Structure 1
Amino acid sequence: MTRETPAGDLTLANLTKTFGRRTAVDDLSLTIPQSSFFALLGASGCGKTTTLRMIAGLETPTSGQVLLGDRDIARLRPYRRPVNTVFQSYALFPHLDVFENVAFGLRRRGIRSVGGQVRQMLSLVQLDGYERRRPAQLSGGEQQRVALARALINHPQVLLLDEPLGALDLTLRRQMQVELKRLQAEVGITFVHVTHDQEEAMTMADTVAVMNAGRIEQLGAPADIYEFPATAFVARFLGQSNLIAGDVTGGSGDDLLVTAQGARFSVPAGRSRTDRGPVFLGVRPEKLHLATAALRVPAGHQHLDGTITDASYLGVSTQYLLRTAGGVELSVFVANSGDQQRFAIGERAVAYWNPRHAFLLGRRAETPDPTAPVAGEPVGVSA
């Protein structure tokens, strides 16, 4: 496939969309670099799909701009925008074969000689020889590839992906994550991927924007957001986090001192979003280690002890829940390496961690402790 001349960055400037009294997207501003793979990640109702629909032209912004390079496309009709969308439902024409589904956009523009372009596009998505099959004869992954080929053959400058893998089973979804990433690198088009699936966003995207209530909570590379979240919402939404309510009591060298659960802890200042007041001390479950209560905690590590309340075998790891004397339930992932120690429910144990792997987030005094279980929700399951 011949790469098109990039149109420039995709910029959303003060983009707002209201439906009556409800604000779906709230003064959103961000820049998506050209030729990047960008993910809008968030729960249902956060505004991510409405944002995508405004880029596509399927919704009109209440205010703000959608800029492609230096051109505002916010008021252009969808068919006049250099943008194509792939939906979760694929939206293939059941009465047309694969060849005609892919050729549809070219024929609609009056292009008669389409064979070469269609075969090139089917080769790109690894569907050589599928030209005469109907959608009903294809698997979900194959239908997804046809939908991608149909969108890419129009040479869009931006490809929008609206929960494109949601209808696939887990194994196929993971396979398609790799394929989409390969495809984006090959064609060099800006991909904007909307999803609620954190694994999809982290696996494929160069940059992830975590959305909440119509706004961006945090924007950055997947590893940066995961390792150092900006808010308690991000810490809990992008993976699981143990968030322990405490208070900053001072400093010592390059560290901040925190009192929580009746004990004192330290967190590097460079891993802290605030240096005073009420805080959450955060540690990811895989950064915690579990040991019997009789074992001595390694030097330089910090710990909380308690009682094992649950053990769940997850394949690559076992998730243990440990309830501390202060009532906090910590989630700990222990790799199933074959020689790991197993813990029984009711057994006393110690969860310990390296302070360099912790992080500190601001906490309003009235904010509920997000480590506390929500009524009706299984203990230890993140939002």
Structure 2
Amino acid sequence: MAGDLRLTGVSKRFGSFVAVDGLDLTIPEGSFFALLGPSGCGKTTTLRMVAGLEEPTEGTIHLGDLDVTHTKPYQRPVNTVFQNYALFPHLTIFENVAFGLRRRGVKDVRKQATEALDLVELGHLARRKPAQLSGGQQQRIALARAVVNRPQVLLLDEPLGALDLKLRRQMQIELKRIQTEVGITFVHVTHDQEEAMTMADRVAVMNHGKIEQLGAPSELYEAPDTTFVANFLGQSNLVEATRHGTDGDYTTLETHGQKVRVLSRRASPQPELLLGVRPEKIRLTAEATETSSGTNTLTGGRVIDASYLGVSTQYLVRMPWGQDLTVFAQNLGVADRFADGTAVTLSWEPDHSFALAGDAAAGVENVDDLETVAQG
């Protein structure tokens, strides 16, 4: 039954509401794959259909050559780890892990359960009860209980959501290590961009039941296909611009009377566009300072806020047309920070630009973040 997980034309409707809309998706065998998107985008419904907890309204689901579209959950080579862990409180940690093995009639339960506990580095807690463990330890036990059955696919439904930030980051590293060790296909559902980018080989960004973009985390971040992806995956400055011409491999754009360049392969074909650049790609210099030849520059900015974040300083820069752009400057200790009111020039490499058509506010989760996108 080994092979890729394939969803073909999969839709799920609840009455008139379309939760998943004609999804075509192939998840390579042995990969760590993330379904990323905001609440209500269809990612959890997709996971539940793979698990057999929901039946598709249309389409098929295959694991290798095996059609599991209408197969009962317990008949599928799939296990799920939920956010609430769902451990049996009356059983020891060892018995929690061994539970599935015993149900399947496995003879050498002790060896396999012990190996699974060692995999998550909690073998020394085998005799304890779940209530005696921390949240992070319970999460690892839930993972061991799922992995011990060696499913073809392991589904992770927001498994780190209940953990605090520091523990969540530790567990991101642990999950990736475990996936690499056991070689099972992991499908991870999350709304946390950092989680998806830290762990997954490939990420599918979902919106309104469809996939907006699919690819490696770096590809999605550096070259988003839509304004939704640009805003949802990290943070972007989006500035209204119009197509002006071409210059070799580059397209020239005009934005508020100033010209900039973007790689033509990163520019949508429409005449009216949104010039995009990530905050950490921008360099701030005092207004009179000369910038490097060949860089994109926007002049006339003025710092209206500087927030010290430790690793970096976040600047809000108000441009002459009234839009506030965000800049992250790494704190290298080699230059003074810009004070509020400082007149500045923004510059960045043309290769760090992208130009998209669409809604500048698409994918913005927090209303306060609207300051950082184009104002209509």
TM class by shorter chain equals over 0.9
Q: Percent identity?
A: 59
Partner of 1:350: 345
CA distance in 1 between partners of 2:69 and 2:39 (Å): 24
- Preserved contact between residue 231 and residue 363 of structure 2 (Cα < 8 Å): no
Alignment of 1:193-342 (within 5 A): 193-272=188-267, 274-304=268-298, 305-342=300-337
Determine helix, strand or coil for the equivalent of 1:356. Answer: helix
Partner of 1:3: none
Determine helix, strand or coil for the equivalent of 2:87. Answer: coil
Give 1:120 deviation, angstroms.
Answer: 1.1
Alignment of 1:11-26 (within 5 A): 11-26=6-21
Distance change >3 Å, CA 359–CA 368, structure 1 → 2: closer
Deviations 1:32-69 (A, max 9, x none): 00000000000010000000000001111111111111
Which deviates more, 213-222 or 245-254? 245-254
- Preserved contact between residue 2 and residue 152 of structure 2 (Cα < 8 Å): yes
Give 1:70 deviation, angstroms.
Answer: 1.7
Partner of 2:371: 379
* Alignment equivalent of 1:177, drawn from 158, 172, 175: 172
Partner of 1:138: 133
Alignment-mate amino acid for residue 16 of structure 1: S
CA distance in 2 between partners of 1:36 and 1:374 (Å): 32
Alignment-mate amino acid for residue 337 of structure 1: L
CA distance in 2 between partners of 1:37 and 1:51 (Å): 16
Name stretches of at least 5 consecutive residues in structure 2 with no aligned partner.
none
Give 1:71 deviation, angstroms.
Answer: 1.5
Determine helix, strand or coil for the equivalent of 1:129. Answer: helix
**Aligned residue pairs, count:** 373
Distance change >3 Å, CA 135–CA 120, structure 1 → 2: same
Q: 1:10 aligned to 2:5? A: yes
Give 1:245 deviation, angstroms.
Answer: 1.1
Partner of 2:123: 128
> What is the TM-score when the length of structure 2 is the normalising length?
0.95
Give 1:375 deviation, angstroms.
Answer: 5.7
Alignment-mate amino acid for residue 379 of structure 1: E
Distance change >3 Å, CA 249–CA 348, structure 1 → 2: same
> What is the TM-score when the length of structure 1 is the normalising length?
0.93
Give 1:253 deviation, angstroms.
Answer: 2.2
Alignment of 1:105-124 (within 5 A): 105-111=100-106, 113-124=108-119
Deviations 1:291-342 (A, max 9, x none): 1112112211122231111112222111101010011211100001122331
Partner of 1:45: 40
CA distance in 2 between partners of 1:126 and 1:373 (Å): 37
Determine helix, strand or coil for the equivalent of 2:371. Answer: coil
CA RMSD, 1 decimal: 1.9
Name stretches of at least 5 consecutive residues in structure 1 with no aligned partner.
1-5
CA distance in 1 between partners of 2:150 and 2:363 (Å): 47
Alignment-mate amino acid for residue 236 of structure 1: N
Distance change >3 Å, CA 335–CA 32, structure 1 → 2: same
Give 1:7 deviation, angstroms.
Answer: 1.1
CA distance in 1 between partners of 2:14 and 2:180 (Å): 37
Q: 1:104 aligned to 2:96? A: no
Alignment-mate amino acid for residue 86 of structure 1: V
- Preserved contact between residue 364 and residue 370 of structure 2 (Cα < 8 Å): no
Give 1:379 deviation, angstroms.
Answer: 3.2
CA distance in 1 between partners of 2:41 and 2:173 (Å): 26
Alignment-mate amino acid for residue 36 of structure 1: S
